């Protein structure tokens, strides 16, 4: 209390406006992210015995969650849908048949240097292995990311490879999270992509506008707006509670920069596997200027089995959603099958 009064009285210690300062804001928030389970539980006023058994040492894919995201969780609620997405459970260590390290066979699609081509016209670039928040359901949680020091060299090599493929008109920046690159690195990457004549769009698959909205700086938006490539930003929000005021502001800023905004979610048991949760998510997305795109059936990655929702239940959920929402607010329920030419829709009656 006294410190906030001091700040009001003393404008010299208030943050200055301007992009340089915004950069410091998000980097500071990253450094201050919670990485210890005990700290997270203390912040939420939660006792361990109210939770399923926790993994005492979840590294290398450790706990990681920015404090702004923790602030969106309900204190004292062991079932909080945001908490469940980040909390490392002991059961993640179980070996479950059918759950693999690389469930979508990224390895087979890798043309080298982190350039993945699975579908016609689109190429996906692994830009970094880092993320601001570690999602326990992440299908790339075991991906063999390159060491950061080789990252820039790999990116240049991937761009050279991309330039030789005339069939690709859309590049997808993925990872990890491409917005973990700072504005300088991202700017250099965009320069390289803009020089590839056949590219028309740049798509960013990023959870940052949701989990660390401070990353969406004016400078970032100005760079996207200035690009000759049409920007499409596919965010990743699984629950309406993830989209707080700061995320809404960040998304409005991206829209003003001319970006098309879509959301992909993963269907997660205990997080968003109810009609109410899905309706609330779609409505909140629309409030934020984002259309639902994909609702992914869980990729069967080692460590995520506790999130799985049966296909029959998933189809029933979607069928009900269609009766509750306008068509444009109903996401496409899909599963990725290795080797398929597109993400495959799960329809009533299909055996997939
Ligand atoms: C999911 C994915 C895409 C994008 O597919 P869309 O259906 O266009 O969203 C592209 N490349 C790879 C390797 C992917 O995994
Ligand atoms: S933000 Fe995306 S890439 Fe990063 S841990 Fe979550 S699901 Fe995985």
Per-residue model confidence as pLDDT tens digits over 222-268: 999 999 999 999 999 999 999 999 999 999 999 999 999 999 999 99
Query: Environment class of residue 3 by beta-carbon count within 10 Å: exposed (0-12), middle (13-18) or buried (19+)?
Result: exposed
44 vs 23, higher pLDDT: 44
- Closest ligand to C-alpha of residue 105 is 1
The answer to whether position 99 is within a domain reads no
Surface-to-core class of residue 56, CB atoms within 10 Å of its CB (0-12 exposed, 13-18 middle, 19+ buried): exposed
Q: If 0-12 CB within 10 Å is exposed, 13-18 middle and 19+ buried, where does residue 149 land?
A: exposed
User: Which pLDDT score, from 0 to 100, does residue 19 have?
Assistant: 52
- 132 and 222 part of one domain: yes
At residue 217, the pLDDT reads: 96
Residue 223 included in any domain? yes
- Report yes or no on 100 lying in a domain: no
Q: Give the pLDDT band of residue 349 (cuts 50, 70, 90).
A: low
Q: Would you call the peptide bond into 60 cis, given omega within 30 degrees of 0 as the criterion?
A: yes
Query: Does the residue 101 lie in any domain?
Result: no
Which protein residues are within 6 Å of ligand 1, measured from CB? 109, 116, 118-119, 122, 124, 172, 342-343
pLDDT above 70 as % of the chain: 92
Q: For the residues 279-300, what does the mean pLDDT come to?
A: 98
Place of tokens 């075991």: 142
* pLDDT score at 1: 34
On the question of pLDDT at 6 being above 70, the answer is: no
Same domain? 189 vs 111: yes
**Predicted pLDDT at 282:** 98
- The atom of ligand 1 lying closest to the CA of 124 is 11
- 351 inside domain: no
The span from the first CA to the last CA of the chain, in angstroms, equals 56
Range of the structural domain that residue 43 is part of = 3-93
Pairing of strands 115-119, 260-266: unpaired
Tell me which of 121, 334, 343 to substitute to probe ligand 1's pocket, judged by most ligand atoms within 8 Å of the beta carbon.
Answer: 343
Question: Can you give the pLDDT at residue 8?
Answer: 36
Question: What is the structure's pLDDT at 196?
Answer: 98
Q: Rounded CA gap, 196 and 169, in Å?
A: 9
Retrieve residue 237's tokens: 């929000």
What are the tens digits of pLDDT across the range 298-313? 999 999 999 999 999 9
* 205 and 301 part of one domain: yes
How many domains, the chain?
2
178 C-beta closer than 6 A to ligand 2: no
pLDDT of residue 176 exceeding 70: yes
Looking at the fold, whether 80 and 125 belong to one and the same domain comes out as no
The token duo for 169 is 């008109």
CB of 289 closer than 8 Å to CB of 255: yes
76 lies in the same domain as 117: no
24-28 long-range CB contacts below 8 Å, 24 or more apart? 25/214, 26/212, 26/214, 26/215, 26/217, 27/182
Same domain for 189 and 211, yes or no, is yes
Based on the fold, state whether residues 160 and 19 are members of the same structural domain. Answer: no
What is the best residue among 102, 121, 122 to mutate for testing ligand 1's pocket, by most ligand atoms within 8 Å of CB? 122
Residue 11 has what pLDDT? 36
Sheet with strand 122-126: strands edge to edge: 115-119, 122-126, 170-174, 201-205, 230-235, 260-266, 291-296, 332-335, 344-345
* Ligand 1 pocket: which of 111, 118, 173 to mutate (most atoms within 8 A of CB): 118
Distance 131 CA to ligand 2 centre (A): 6
How far does the centroid of ligand 1 lie from the alpha carbon of residue 316, in Å? 25
In-domain check, residue 350: no
pLDDT tens, position by position, 143-166: 888 877 678 889 999 999 999 999
Check whether 75 has a pLDDT greater than 80.
yes
Confidence class for position 4, pLDDT limits 50, 70, 90:
very low
98-133 pLDDT per residue, tens: 999 999 999 999 998 999 999 999 999 999 999 999
Q: Does 56 have pLDDT greater than 80?
A: yes
Nearest C-alpha neighbor of 267 from the set 221, 304, 227: 304
Q: To the nearest whole number, what is the mean pLDDT of the chain? A: 92
- Looking at the structure, tell me whether residues 304 and 246 fall in a common domain: yes
Q: Are 206 and 237 in contact (CB under 8 A)?
A: no
Query: 157 or 13: whose pLDDT is higher?
Result: 157
pLDDT at 16 over 60: no
Q: CB of 207 closer than 6 A to ligand 2?
A: yes
Q: What is the mean pLDDT of residues 321-342?
A: 96
Q: Which of 93, 125, 148 is the last residue of a domain?
A: 93
What distance lies between CA 171 and its chain's CA centroid? 17
For residue 255, the CA-to-ligand 1 centroid distance in Å is 22
């Amino acid at each position: 209390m006294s410190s906030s009064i001091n700040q009001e009285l003393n404008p010299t210690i208030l943050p200055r406006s301007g992009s340089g300062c915004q950069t410091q804001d998000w980097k500071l928030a990253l450094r201050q992210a919670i990485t210890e389970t005990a700290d997270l539980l203390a912040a939420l006023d939660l006792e361990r015995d109210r939770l399923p058994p926790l993994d005492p040492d979840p590294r290398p894919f450790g706990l990681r969650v920015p404090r702004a995201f923790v602030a969106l969780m309900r204190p004292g609620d062991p079932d909080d849908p945001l908490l469940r997405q980040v909390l490392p459970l002991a059961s993640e260590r179980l070996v479950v048949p059918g759950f693999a390290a690389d469930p979508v066979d990224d390895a087979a699609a890798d043309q080298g240097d982190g350039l993945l081509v699975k579908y016609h016209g689109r190429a996906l670039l692994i830009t970094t292995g880092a993320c601001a928040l570690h999602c326990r359901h992440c299908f790339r949680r075991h991906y063999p990311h390159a060491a950061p020091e080789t990252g820039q060299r790999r990116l240049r090599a991937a761009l050279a490879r991309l330039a030789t493929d005339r069939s690709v008109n859309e590049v997808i920046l993925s990872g990890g999270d491409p917005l973990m690159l700072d504005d300088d690195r991202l700017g250099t990457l965009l320069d390289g992509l803009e020089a590839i004549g056949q590219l028309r769009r740049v798509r960013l698959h990023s959870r940052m506008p949701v989990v660390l909205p401070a990353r969406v700086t004016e400078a970032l938006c100005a760079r996207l707006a200035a690009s000759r490539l049409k920007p499409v930003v596919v965010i990743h929000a699984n629950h309406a509670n993830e989209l707080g005021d700061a995320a809404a502001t960040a998304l409005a800023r991206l829209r003003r920069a001319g970006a098309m905004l879509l959301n992909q979610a993963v269907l997660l048991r205990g997080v968003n596997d109810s009609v109410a949760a899905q309706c609330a998510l779609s409505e909140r997305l629309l409030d934020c200027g984002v259309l639902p795109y994909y609702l992914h059936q869980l990729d069967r990655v080692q460590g995520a089995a506790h999130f799985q929702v049966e296909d029959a239940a998933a189809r029933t959920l979607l069928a009900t959603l269609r009766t509750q929402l306008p068509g444009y607010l109903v996401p496409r329920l899909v599963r990725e099958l290795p080797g398929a030419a597109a993400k495959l829709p799960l329809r009533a009656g299909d055996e997939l």
